[in-house]
Amino acid sequence: MCGLKIPCEHCNGDITEYYNDGYKGKRGKCPICGVDFPLE
Ligand SMILES: [Zn+2]
């Protein structure tokens, strides 16, 4: 198991976590519908 899986609230896809340099923190992005939001 590799940590928390977050389902996309729009399409129920798997949210991908990534580090955003501009935001200086972790964000989540849905590869299916493209929604992007802060995780912390
Ligand atoms: Zn989605």
pLDDT in tens, 4-38: 789 999 999 999 999 999 999 999 999 999 999 99
Q: What is the pLDDT of residue 2?
A: 56
At 18 the three-state DSSP class reads strand
CA 34 to centroid of ligand 1, rounded, Å: 6
Q: What is the pLDDT of residue 31?
A: 96
Q: What is the pLDDT of residue 20?
A: 95
Per-chain residues with Cβ under 5 A from ion ligand 1? 8, 10-11, 13, 30, 32-33
Q: What is the pTM of this model?
A: 0.74
Sign of the Cα pseudo-torsion (22, 25, 30, 35, in order): negative
Q: Which two tokens stand for residue 24?
A: 């200086």
Q: What is the pLDDT of residue 5?
A: 84
CA 11 to centroid of ligand 1, rounded, Å: 4
DSSP sequence for 23-35: TTEEEEE-TTT--
What is the Cα Rg of the chain in Å? 10
Q: What is the pLDDT of residue 8?
A: 96
Q: What is the pLDDT of residue 26?
A: 95
CA 6 to centroid of ligand 1, rounded, Å: 10
Calpha distance 17→25 (Å, rounded): 10
Q: Which two tokens stand for residue 16?
A: 């991908």
